[in-house]
Amino acid sequence: MLKISVISPEATLFEGEARQLVAPAFDGEVGILENHAPMVTVLGKGELRIGDGAQRFSVEGGFMQVVDNVVRVVTEKAAKL
């Protein structure tokens, strides 16, 4: 299970666990599953989907860090869909 945090300048939008996450990286979508290799990527503009899509956010810019099944999404602008 992944521990996921989605943080914008205004608030923490999501804190919880899910089996997967799909994020809009600067050069296309990136999918994250359990035991993903450590990585940091710059986010672009698009839809962030957590789990089976029950949690969805529109994001613009920022970055995502993945380390030891912990995913941190820090975005410049976000809204729940």
pLDDT in tens, 16-63: 999 999 999 999 999 999 999 999 999 999 999 999 888 999 999 999
Give me the numbers of helices (H) and strands (E) for the chain, helices first please: 0, 8
For residue 54, the model assigns a pLDDT of 85
> What CATH number is attached to the domain comprising 46?
2.60.15.10
Q: What is the separation, in whole angstroms, between the first and last Cα of the chain?
A: 23
| CB burial readout 52-78, b (16+ within 10 A) else e | eeebebebeebbbebeeeebebbbeeb
**Residue 32: its pLDDT value, please?**
97
Domain that holds residue 69: 2-80
Please give the Cα distance from 77 to 81 (Å, whole number): 13
- If one counts the domains in the chain, the total is 1
